Structure 1
Amino acid sequence: MSSTIIPVLEIGGTHLTAALVESGTWAIDRPSLARVDLQAQGTAESLIEAIGVAADALTAAPGAIWSVAIPGPFDYATGVGRFENVGKFDSLNGVHVRNALMDRITPTPGMIHFLNDADAFGVGEYALGAARGHDRALCITLGTGVGSTFLNHGEPVGTGPTVSPDGSIHHEIYRGSPLEHTVSRRAIRAAYAAAAGMDPATGPDVHAIATRSRAGDDTARQVLDTAFGALGETLAMVLKRFDAGILVIGGSMARSWDLVEPAIRAGMTLEDRRLADFRIERAILPDDAALVGAAYWASRREDHGR
C-alpha cells in the first residue's frame, strides 16, 4: 500500500486515544491526536457511540483503512468482542465491533483492522523504536500487570512451543504460582505493605515505593529487587526459548528504569550467566508505540490482502 493516512484508535480500560498516522514514515499527525475518557462498564451502545464520536473527530477520508488497538479477550480476525467476566467491556461480549463501527463512523471506513494493544506496542517499537532491525524480539509493558508480545520479523507470535501460553508471559509460572502473583502493581503493593506492616489498601503505589527505594528505604528496595528479579529469572527462560535478540521494556514502571533494569538483569543472570550482557532496551516510543504499531499492522494487512 502506498503512503497514506491511517486513522488509529487505541482503546484502553479508562480512555481512548485517536490519531492519524502516515504510513511509511509512521509519523503521528499531532494536531489530530486526542485522548478522551471511556467508561469500560458502559452499555454496548454507549461504548460504540463514544468510540464513534472520537473516530468522527479525526475527519478521515471516505473509505480509509482504519486500525484499532484493543485489549483482549477479543477475536481480532473477525472483530468480535469476547469480554466475558473480565471486569471491562463485558457489554461488548459477542458484539461484532467491526460491523458496529463500520455503521457508526462517518465517513464509512473501507476496512477496520484490529490488533491486541500489547502487540500494537511491540509492533510500534519494531517499526520505529527500540526493536527496529531485530528479527526476533520480546517486547513487554510493565503497568498494572506484565503485557508482552513475541515478534518474528515484526509479526506477533501467539502460539507454538517457543512462546508463552497465548503469547503472554503473565501466564508463566514462577515458583509454583502465576508470575503476576509476584510481578504486578497489586503484588508489589501487597508485598511492600506486608513487609512494612501497613494496610495494602492504603499503602503506597509502585511509583511511591520506587521513590522510597531511592531515598534509602531498604524494605522498598528489597521488594522491588525481589519482584523484578523474579521477572528477570522468568524472562531468561522465555528469551532463550524464543531465541530473541533483544528485550524491549515499556509501560509506567519502566519510568523507574534505574531500579527496574538492574533487577531484571540480575534475575536473568542468576538464571543463566550467559545473559549478563543480553541486550535490554527501554522503549523509545513509550506513549506512541501502540498508535504506530496499529497503523503499521493495518498497512501490512492491506499489502498482503489480509
Structure 2
Amino acid sequence: MDNKNIVVGVDVGGSHITAALVDINSRSLIEGTTVRKAVDSKGSAAEILSVWKAVIKDTSMIGGCSIKRIAFAMPGPFNYENGISLIKGVDKYESLYGMNIKKELADCFNIQDDQILFRNDAEAFLHGEVAVGDFDITDKILGFTLGTGFGSAYSYQGDTRDLGIGLLPFKETIADDYLTTRWFRNMYGTKTGQFNNVQQISQLAQEGDDTALQLFNEFADNLAEVLGKQIKEIDAVHIILGGNISKAQEFFLPRTQYQLNQEGIFPQFYLAKLGEQSAIVGSAYLFAPLFDVI
C-alpha cells in the first residue's frame, strides 16, 4: 500500500484503544484495518504502552504498510504539542503522568518525533464528524462526548478546538462530575445499592424502572444547563453528540431540547455518524488540515 496519504489514527478511551489506517485524501478509514483492544487504564505504564504499541503494529500489518505517521486522539489533561501525559486525579492512565509518550513511540517505531501528533479526543471527534458531514463551512458547531469523561469542542470554518467545558465549575464540583458514566453508576448505586453501568441503567429505563428514568431526567436537566450557556455564547446552530451515553438519547435528549427551547435556544441536534471512528479520522487530520482536502 502507498503510504503517502496514510496515517495510523488512534483513539484512546478510558478502557480501550482503537486504531485504524486513515486515507487523508478520501477522508475515510481503510476498510478492514481497525483493531480494538481492552486496556487496563489503572495498570503500569509498561502494561498500558505494551497494548498501545501492539494495536498500532497490528493495524499497520493488516493494512500492509509500514508505520510512517501516527495521530492520537487523547483524553486530557495532556501536553498535546510535546506528547507528554499530564493525566492525574481522573482515575485512569495515572501511571503515564509526566511520561513523554511521543518519544517512547518514536523510539519504538523508529520514526521522527514530528511524525507522531496528539489531539484532544473531543476535538478529534468533532473534527472527524464535521469532515464527513454535510455542514456548511460557515456553520458554528459544538460537539460533546458523553462517556467516561465529558468532552467538548467547537468547530468553525474548518478550525476545531477543545473547549474544556467539563472542567468548569458546576453545582458542587465541575461539569465532568455530573455528565459522565461514573455519575450514572454512582447515583444509581447510591439510590439502589446496585452499581450498574449506563447500558444496564438504559435497559432498566426501557423497562420502566423509576430510578433509572429519574436519573435520565436529572441528567437531561444538567446537560441543558451546561449546554445552554455555551450555545448562547458561541451562537452555535448545530450540536453533535457522541459517546456511550448518547446511545441512550431517547431517555434524555427530548427533555434537554425542551429545557433549551424554554430558554429561547433552538439548536439542531445530531448523533455522531461515525461513532468511535470519528476521533480516529479527526486525529489523522492533524497531518492535513480540513481546508486542504475539501
TM-score range relative to shorter protein: 0.7 to 0.9
1:99-137 per-position Cα deviation (integer Å, ceiling 9, x unaligned): 111110157786111111121111111111375645321
The range that moved more, 140-149 or 123-132, is 123-132
Encode CA deviations 1:167-193: one digit per residue, 9 max, x unaligned: 222223444543344333233344445
Q: Is the 8 A contact 1:248 1:280 kept in 2?
A: yes
Offset of residue 151 of structure 1: 2.0
Does the CA contact (< 8 Å) of 1:131 and 1:248 recur in 2? no
Which residue in the other structure is 2:234 paired with? 242
Which residue, out of 170, 176, 184, partners 1:188? 184
Query: d(CA) in 2 for partners of 1:145 and 1:46?
Result: 22
TM-score (norm 1): 0.82
How far apart in 2 are the matches of 1:49 and 1:14? 14
| 2:253 aligned with 1:257 | no
Q: What is the match of residue 122 of structure 1?
A: 126
**Residues 39, 185 of structure 1: alpha-carbon distance in 2 compared, 3 angstrom cutoff:** closer
Aligned to 1:215: 207
Q: Point out 4+ residue stretches in structure 1 off by more than 6 angstroms.
A: 107-110
Contact 2:219 2:252 in 1 (8 A): no
Q: How does 1:1-306 map to 2 (within 5 A)?
A: 4-57=5-58, 58-59=60-61, 61=65, 64-105=68-109, 111-129=115-133, 133=137, 135-158=139-162, 167-175=163-171, 177-194=173-190, 197-199=191-193, 202-270=194-262, 272=263, 274-275=264-265, 277-300=266-289
CA distance, structure 2, for counterparts of residue 133 and residue 79 of structure 1: 30
Distance 1:131 1:42, change over 3 A: farther
CA distance in 2, matches of 1:66, 1:14: 20
Task: Tell me the amino acid that sits aligned with residue 258 of structure 2.
Answer: A
Verify the 8 A CA contact 1:65 1:109 in the aligned structure 2.
no
Shift of 1:140: 0.5
Q: How many residues align?
A: 287
Distance between the aligned counterparts of 2:108 and 2:4, measured in 1?
26
- In 1, the alpha carbon distance for the partners of 2:208 and 2:130 equals 37
Counterpart CA distance in 2 for 1:137 and 1:107 is 35
Q: Which amino acid aligns with 2:84?
A: V
CA distance in 2, matches of 1:269, 1:226: 17
CA distance in 2, matches of 1:66, 1:32: 14
Structure 1 vs Structure 2 CA RMSD: 2.8
State the Cα distance separating 1:138 from its structure 2 match.
0.8
**Amino acid in structure 1 at the alignment position of 2:96:** L
Q: Which moved more, 1:2-11 or 1:277-286?
A: 2-11
**CA deviation string 1:175-216 (max 9, x = no partner):** 45433443332333444455xx521xx244333333333333
Instruction: Name stretches of at least 5 consecutive residues in structure 1 with no aligned partner.
Output: 159-166
Please give the alpha-carbon distance, in whole angstroms, between the structure 1 residues aligned to 2:187 and 2:134. Answer: 32
Given that residues 130 and 284 in structure 1 are in contact (C-alpha distance below 8 angstroms), is that contact kept between their aligned partners in structure 2? no
